[in-house]
């Protein structure tokens, strides 16, 4: 397999993550979900071990940083010493508002609403997250295909605009475009297999 590096392990992390998604969305038995969680955790452990071997950080550092981040970003749940608050905000909106405020304080260099949105997300997820961030920032996206009913995209740029509109319409209706397309592909596969 060659020398293990963070870069060489990325494909396995992605693959194991999608296997976990399959187990969750497919309603697989608990033992299968447990196994898939273990496979994802193994990827985390491998990355931490590689970092430890290079002298960067160890698994303990990962856990301590995560713990500190959770305490810091969730003041509605934790006191600064990590113990639980005695009372919690009344609404989910208050919790989300506090979480965003803390995150903004931590990363003041992020000036665009799109800073921190990973460009390597699957395209539909990337689109949905971008549109959500735009909405939260009060930015109204252009909708070039809303003005062209019945027209079909003829270039990749037009197709991209069309798909972005579709993702926006899905989100406006409380639908998850990524999950919906994945389910449609599975149905298509099953239908083709049945007819073969």
Q: Stretch 81-92: mean pLDDT, rounded?
A: 86
In angstroms, the CA 178 to CA 123 distance is 8
In angstroms, the CA 119 to CA 144 distance is 23
Q: Stretch 173-191: mean pLDDT, rounded?
A: 93
More reliable by pLDDT, 1 or 177: 177
Tokens of 180: 């919906």
pLDDT at 1: 46
69 three-class SS: helix
pLDDT at 34: 97
pLDDT at 146: 64
Q: Is the pLDDT of residue 164 over 70?
A: yes
Q: Is the pLDDT of residue 26 over 60?
A: yes
pLDDT at 129: 93
Q: In DSSP terms, which residues pair with 78 in a beta bridge?
A: 84
In angstroms, the CA 48 to CA 42 distance is 10
pLDDT at 2: 60
Q: Is the dihedral of CA 9, 10, 11, 16 positive or negative?
A: positive
Yes or no: say if 77 and 84 are a contact pair by the CB < 8 Å rule: yes
Q: Stretch 54-59: mean pLDDT, rounded?
A: 96
pLDDT category, 102, cuts 50, 70, 90?
confident
Q: Stretch 34-53: mean pLDDT, rounded?
A: 97
pLDDT at 145: 67
């Amino acid at each position: 397999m060659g020398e293990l590096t963070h870069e060489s392990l990325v494909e396995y992390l992605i693959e194991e993550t999608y296997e976990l998604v399959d187990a969750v969305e497919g309603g697989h038995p608990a033992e299968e979900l447990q196994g898939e969680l273990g496979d994802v955790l193994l990827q985390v452990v491998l990355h931490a071990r590689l970092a430890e071997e290079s002298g960067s950080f160890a698994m303990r550092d990962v856990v301590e940083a995560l713990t500190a981040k959770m305490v810091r970003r969730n003041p509605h749940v934790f006191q600064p010493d990590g113990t639980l608050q005695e009372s919690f905000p009344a609404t989910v909106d208050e919790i989300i508002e506090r979480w965003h405020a803390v995150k903004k304080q931590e990363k003041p260099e992020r000036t665009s609403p799109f800073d921190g949105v990973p460009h390597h997300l699957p395209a539909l997820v990337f689109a949905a997250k971008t549109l959500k961030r735009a909405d939260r920032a009060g930015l109204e996206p252009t909708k070039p295909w809303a003005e062209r009913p019945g027209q079909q995209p003829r270039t990749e740029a037009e197709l991209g605009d069309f798909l972005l509109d579709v993702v926006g319409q899905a989100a406006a209706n409380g639908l998850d475009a990524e999950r919906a397309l994945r389910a449609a592909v599975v149905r298509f596969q099953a239908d083709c297999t049945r007819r073969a």
